Structure 1
Amino acid sequence: MTDDTMFDLAPQARIVAQLVQGVTDEQLAGPTPCPDYAVRDLLGHLAGLSEAFGAAAGKRLGPATDTPPATSVPDLDPGWRSDLPKALDALAEAWRDPAAWTGTTRAGGVDLPGAVAAAVAVDELVVHGWDLARATGQSYDPDPVALHIAHTFLHGSVDDSGNGIFGPVVPVPADAPLLGRAVGLSGRDPGWTRRV
């Protein structure tokens, strides 16, 4: 991926925002495919990454861009049902600025090229969209462009020992749907289902 490769994050951000609207209060304490996250934690993480990658797009370096994601999970704001979709929309809007894709920025305390930061952001939206859908029993059809970018990014992150950026890759058949292959590359079991 080069600095002049731009894509629109808005379609995937809208899909995640729709999933957010489908979460019930009773599901907030439920498990997700991320072992350390309940649904409420996943929503808090989505809020935090929206702020962080929006700031990264604007090169507004500071606490939002400098804090590693594993350090803490943001508390879920009481107004999350309306605030999180707005944050997702603002994230997508920030990456519409061509300047976001040039030079270097920072996210999660890591300096990286702007275009790579955008790929990480869309990967987060695709994978955590899947997490949220699975955890709350919703259907999920990610934006095809976002899914392709996320799969390419995750595939490129696998090292010689079979580890990706999120841990060991879960083997998935080569002829599986692209979403399943991306999920496996993210270290998740595509067959994960919530306990009812």
Structure 2
Amino acid sequence: MIKKQTNQNSLIAEQFSKIVRELRSLNKKEFDERIEMLTKGESVSHSCHQFNPKSNSSFLFNSAKSKLYLDLVKDLSNFNDSKLIDSATKPKIGILLDKTSGNLSTISTRIKSFNSPSFLLFNYSDDGSNLYKFFELLSSFQEIKDDNFSVIYCQETFNLQMKIKNSSSEKVKIKLIKLLKKYCEQELKI
């Protein structure tokens, strides 16, 4: 059992090193092109500063922005819509470990590095200078004990999205999508 776990961790470390070497070899333009390739087919959420909400939803949109900004900065005196939205929604490169298969892949992400029972997400764009963080997360899974509800919310929605993506049953996907929708609606109610 221990030998199997050691072999799996060794394979994960090899895959991680290969991905990191590949990402480090990219120049700025190639890195941006990689992000663009990874986000191809997504909605244009990283251009939210161009978002023009309907009149009946502008209050909800502004409330959500204010809540997000307060969670990030804790101060509304320097509130700047475009900087806030760009920093919160700009796609970044992440390395995703699927713990059930042991496979790593490069994905676009907009959330911080985190560890869950099923997945480990390493935000390479933010944490690339501290590669040891990946191995810390891998070796010491801890239940989420964060007081910041926004961090927990991001992690839970990410887990639901990955379950939807990996599910082979259409009925399960529909149930998970409904759950994700309900979860997001609850978060937006301030």
TM-score with structure 1 setting the length: 0.30
User: Who wins on radius of gyration, i.e. which is larger?
Assistant: 2
- Higher strand proportion: 2
